[in-house]
Structure 1
């Protein structure tokens, strides 16, 4: 897992990639993102390419009894929520972002890797809330954005995500001049400026 200083750096890098120019990002930022992220476990590469995410709620318990002066009473407990995400153990949280470095077995053989970027709060389908950085042999190729389509089936919903090309890498300055991010450095907590 990244150290605390690396988490600050990763959060700043992801902010520049997502919030910089509308159709480009800095090659250096994407390369730094790949360098700082822990590599996926080789055992994870052998798993089936299916990820499962389940969210729901159940009614709370019902209690009944007698109360002095009121007679018989019945109280419904609060609803209990639950969530399961098979990707949670492979996710790194940095600032407002959740990052996951992955490469399936066949992708790894072809030199392909991805880093999923998801905003922790908010709906993933909204622009800028979810993206995937695609690498080929360690070099950033493109940033894909996601659009979701929900199909309701009674109490359940089927969500289909579609990846669309969003940004491409450029060398050098890809964002507005003068944009700076402060990141803590050193044991004394001093700040150093990372120029974009």
Structure 2
């Protein structure tokens, strides 16, 4: 039976932007969402409000936008509109960077502020790691975590967390604990082929 390589679409389904974490892409995409309240006679040209939202797709990005705008300004989806929704791509997606994420989350006992540091290729990957970390350490769900700010740490002196500091030491080496020598094949399973 001839084994043929299947296209990725056959294995994982249609791969959309920022939706296939099995292929090494991030589950989250960074969106720039711009919206406003609907124009009225009292306010014919309402202010535009722009936010950077990390979400798995556009529908969730719009939903989170209205969630935050409803808290910050007197605006909601019923009397507002989305003007623009764009994906923000990473400028250098192959460079490993250190990120600091300021967040607020609701636990069983109250609301807490926190700063976490992550090492990732993009802001979206750092945010995904943050959500995984918050779920593991604090049992915080996606709906309970509010991202306040995501910033790249430019200088290595500004890194505060020891689990990130240990990865930036010069000449870092990792042990290879379970190396197995490959046994030499004394006998060939097939006859030698001299025909070229």
**TM-score normalised by the shorter chain: which range applies?**
under 0.3
Q: Which structure has the larger Rg?
A: 2
With structure 2 as the length reference, what TM-score do the two structures score? 0.22
- Which of the two has greater helix per residue? 2
**Which structure carries more relative contact order (alpha carbon 8 Å, separation 6+)?**
1
With structure 1 as the length reference, what TM-score do the two structures score? 0.22
